[in-house]
Amino acid sequence: MAIKVITQNKKARHEYEILEKYEAGIVLQGSEVKALRAGRANLNDAYCRFIKGELYLLNAHIGHLDTTNKHFAKDDRAPRKLLMHKKELDKLYGKVSKDGLTIVPLMIYFNERNLAKVSIALARGKKLHDKRETLKRRTLEKEAKIAMKNRSY
């Protein structure tokens, strides 16, 4: 059984150079899990930050279903705690604090055991010329593929 991707952060791959990827669990309420299953999530402008030694997902939008009681409905962009092993957290904290790297969420998905997970990455911000270089390389690869397809023998 494969994973079921709920949402992806395509902007992160454009803005950052991905160095390492990690998988983290996420603390959710029941109504938020139902909203994820309905596909009501968005990772644009989301980021991760350490608060009191724990890793949190900030500014990620997980909407409410219409059937959710408004009294129990949480804020759509509330901070959500990410669950990882202590060794991984210490490693990430060291790299973020010493090397000036950033932790960005890449996607939210349900794994094989049907648990909600967040794929996060240790990343370094790209400069403008790096972004241009990436775009040039992609267009050249596309043109080469098209030329190979159209080539007749």
φ, ψ dihedrals at 76, nearest 5°: -60, -35
Indicate the pTM of the whole model: 0.79
pLDDT category, 87, cuts 50, 70, 90?
very high
The pLDDT value recorded for residue 32 is 87
Q: Which residues of 46-75 are buried (b: 16+ CB within 10 A; e: fewer)?
A: bbbeeeeeebbbebbbbebeeebeeeeeee
> What stretches of 7-153 show up as alpha helix (H) in DSSP?
10-15, 30-37, 86-99, 128-150
Give the distance, in angstroms, between the CA of residue 98 and the centroid of all CA atoms in the same chain. Answer: 22
Residue 51: strand, helix, or coil? strand
* Mean pLDDT (whole number) for 37-54: 92
The pLDDT value recorded for residue 47 is 92
**Angstrom distance (rounded) from CA 150 to CA 153:** 10
